[in-house]
């Protein structure tokens, strides 16, 4: 998990470094993803301490301190969940995004009906081609 967090942090740093290339609608994802990194790190530190520090009273995996566990594990996950949920609400859906003028190698943008045929069908069905 620590390696995954380092990769996530590197990706967020790359996105911040190339922020001007990030589509405007996806910018909340970058902001909230970067804001969630410290909370995810605290959660990973708790996992590492409970895995490798068996002599501690606070981080004993067989008799964990409920207050330390509640703060370092559960609270951090709730905060991260709230951050990513907020980013998902603030980020526009595919239907609400404007067409890029250079899509499909310079072809004019498709109409709303052509771009999203699934909007007219029942939820869960795939339209026939």
Question: How confident is the model over 67-126, as pLDDT tens digits?
Answer: 888 888 889 999 999 999 999 888 877 664 555 554 444 444 555 444 445 444 444 555
pLDDT digits (tens, 9 = 90+) for 5-29: 999 999 999 999 988 888 888 888 8
* pLDDT tens digit sequence for 30-65: 899 999 999 999 999 988 888 887 777 778 777 778
Q: Longest C-alpha distance within the chain, in Å?
A: 66
d(CA 52, CA 93): 43
Global pTM reads: 0.65
Q: How far is residue 81's CA from residue 88's CA, in Å, rounded to a whole number? A: 10
Q: Quick one: 1 exposed, middle or buried, by C-beta within 10 A (0-12, 13-18, 19+)?
A: exposed
Structure tokens at 20: 């001007």
Classify burial at 37, counting beta carbons within 10 Å of its beta carbon; exposed 0-12, middle 13-18, buried 19 or more.
middle
> Which of 33, 43, 34 has its CA nearest to residue 76?
43
Which ranges in 19-121 belong to alpha helices (H)? 27-52, 66-69, 76-90, 103-106, 112-115
């Amino acid at each position: 998990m620590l390696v995954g967090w380092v990769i996530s942090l590197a990706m967020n740093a790359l996105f911040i470094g190339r922020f001007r290339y990030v589509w405007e609608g996806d910018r909340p994802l970058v902001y909230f993803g970067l804001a969630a990194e410290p909370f995810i790190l605290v959660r990973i530190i708790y996992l590492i301490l409970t895995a490798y520090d068996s002599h501690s009273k606070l981080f004993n995996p067989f008799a964990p301190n409920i207050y330390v566990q509640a703060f370092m594990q559960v609270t951090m996950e709730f905060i991260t969940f709230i951050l990513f949920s907020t980013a998902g609400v603030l980020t526009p859906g595919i239907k609400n995004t404007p067409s890029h003028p250079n899509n499909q190698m310079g072809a004019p943008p498709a109409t709303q009906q052509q771009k999203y045929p699934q909007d007219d069908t029942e939820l869960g069905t795939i339209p026939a081609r």
